[in-house]
Structure 1
Amino acid sequence: MSDPVNLKLAVLIDADNAQASIVDGLLAEISKYGTAHVKRIYGDWTLPNLGSWKETLLQHSIQPMQQFRYTKGKNATDGAMMIDAMDLLYSRNFEGFCIVSSDSDFTRLAQRLRESGMTVYGFGEQKTPEPFVAACDKFVYTEVLREDSSTDATTRKSGKELKRDAKLLTLLRGAVDSAADDTGWAALGMVGTAIAKRSPEFDSRNYGYAKLSGLLKATQLFDLEERAAGRGAHKAIFVRDQRNNVGA
């Protein structure tokens, strides 16, 4: 099995449901998970509304796939992407797929790819329907990938706001608890893995924090501790729910 952070990936972009302003952030994000061996973008390139994409395709070596709209009001792009995805799946040359769209029509495609052992990364706007989000191994909201996005104080959730988010706290505490040892401490990396399994759309950047450690610290509900990992200089972060801080 290949290294999970160096998968051979096929990137399929729905030009009708994605903005060109995300392309730099999108490709940088994808590089965290593997190498994009195929990068294709689908749409009717005879129409002017895709003009912003045309300027970026050559620069980023993204192959445009022409799909005419045979019937007004019908999205033929989705069908073309699905057919290509299955062709790529059966080629057995890939280990994962990146589907870039906010369209729920790709829910079944994501499910089918995962059934075949593929890792599926979804990328779409916050408006993306929940079934598509849940069908992916991981889902990244593209608002955090845009050129004008930031994680500064103007967008960051305060500790008070985070504490009012019951769903978030349940997720964080559950992940820490599942990854913790008998002392209540858990390696941050294992906590991140547990969160991803429970909530594919979770991303600390959605709350204005570049890293999970920053988000956990901001809640003021967890203890964080940096420890040396082995004999080398490398250090790892460990986290503990303060409710387990008995007698400390």
Structure 2
Amino acid sequence: MVSPRLVAKIESEEPTLRLAVLIDADNAQAAVIEGLLAEIAKFGEATVKRIYGDFTAPTSASWKKVLQRYAIKPMQQFAYTTGKNATDSTLIIDAMDLLYTRKFDGFCLVTSDSDFTGLAMRLREEGLTVLGFGEKKTPDAFRNACHKFVFTEVLRPTVEPAATTVKVVSDQNIENGQKSTVNALPAEAVEQKTEFPKKSVLAALEQSVDDTGWAHLGTFGSYLTRLQPDFDSRLYGYKKLSDLVKTKTDIFVTEERPAPGSSQKVLYLRAR
């Protein structure tokens, strides 16, 4: 079950959680750190920020450049022997030490390693919110052990694409022996996107509708997170969940209603 604190955060604009951020340097990329911390700030305050790894190794050079800038405390862990990951053990021990201080509402585990699945489950048993951050290669076991899992690919810095086009040549041009660039398309427009989980989305909508058959967007979002912790509208080209449901007119019917006691409007939706 999703933590009540996380549900409150989904439906609120204010950070509500005191978070411990633990980063596995062996299984995370330094390029995402700015976007990562900005994402964590949406959920609450990063009270503790620690990163674990062997920072004498050349593979950790990129992390050493950002630690001071973002006030992340490095936890040096030498590799005692080849083929054994001492970093994992140190991170888990620290997580349990922090857990028993009872000062935190939740933990952010930044890793793509399924070895932390047990840690995530243990933290949840204590009633704490567990937020996971990792690459798309992260095994399902760890993703589903978290209340919410965010793919770090969507947190990478946005790079302006080069003016590259894909040549689309019509049949008529081919017959005439011409090589015109009719209907030139941006290269990124032909990239394959993540398959949309329509079944999970409709299941969440079914669970969140009221007696009239309509669901409040916040209620729908919280149910969807319970069913699929790694769901993220940004994977499908939409910055917000509201933008996604408004665009998916083949699945949803949306309606904006005045919020009680406010001049603002709230979004409701139902299945088409």
Length-normalised TM-score, structure 2: 0.81
Cα displacement (A) at 1:224: 1.1
Cα displacement (A) at 1:154: 3.2
Q: Judge which range, 205-214 or 62-71, deviates more.
A: 205-214
**Quick check: 1:79 aligned with 2:96?**
no
Contact 1:155 1:208 (8 Å CA) reproduced: no
Out of 198, 212, 215, which is 1:169 matched to? 198
- Aligned pairs (5 A) from 1:224-235: 224-235=254-265
Q: Judge which range, 171-180 or 6-15, deviates more.
A: 171-180
- Percentage identity across aligned positions? 54
Cα displacement (A) at 1:184: 1.4
**SS at the partner of 1:91?**
coil
**SS at the partner of 1:36?**
strand
Distance in 2 between residues matched to 1:157 and 1:217, nearest whole Å: 23
Distance in 1 between residues matched to 2:266 and 2:94, nearest whole Å: 42
Distance in 1 between residues matched to 2:189 and 2:74, nearest whole Å: 34
Cα distance change on mapping 1:80 and 1:156 into 2, 3 Å = farther
Cα displacement (A) at 1:149: 6.8
For residue 206 of structure 1, what is the amino acid of its counterpart? L
Structure 1 stretches (4+) deviating beyond 3 angstroms? 1-5, 152-158
Distance in 2 between residues matched to 1:37 and 1:153, nearest whole Å: 42
Q: Which segments of 5 or more consecutive residues in structure 1 lack a partner in the other structure? A: 243-248
**Quick check: 1:106 aligned with 2:116?**
yes
Q: What's the CA shift string for 1:191-233, capped at 9, x where partnerless?
A: 0011011111111111111111222233322111111101322
Cα displacement (A) at 1:157: 8.9
- Aligned pairs (5 A) from 1:27-42: 27-42=37-52
Give the structure 2 partner of residue 245 of structure 1: none
Contact 1:157 1:208 (8 Å CA) reproduced: no
Give the structure 1 partner of residue 171 of structure 2: none
**SS at the partner of 1:184?**
coil
For residue 50 of structure 2, what is the amino acid of its counterpart? R
Cα distance change on mapping 1:226 and 1:40 into 2, 3 Å = same
**Aligned length, in residue pairs:** 236
Give the structure 2 partner of residue 146 of structure 1: 156
Distance in 2 between residues matched to 1:172 and 1:107, nearest whole Å: 25
Out of 77, 84, 100, which is 1:90 matched to? 100
**Quick check: 1:44 aligned with 2:54?**
yes
Give the structure 2 partner of residue 21 of structure 1: 31
Larger Rg: 2
**SS at the partner of 1:123?**
strand
Distance in 2 between residues matched to 1:196 and 1:156, nearest whole Å: 29
Length-normalised TM-score, structure 1: 0.89
Cα distance change on mapping 1:85 and 1:185 into 2, 3 Å = same
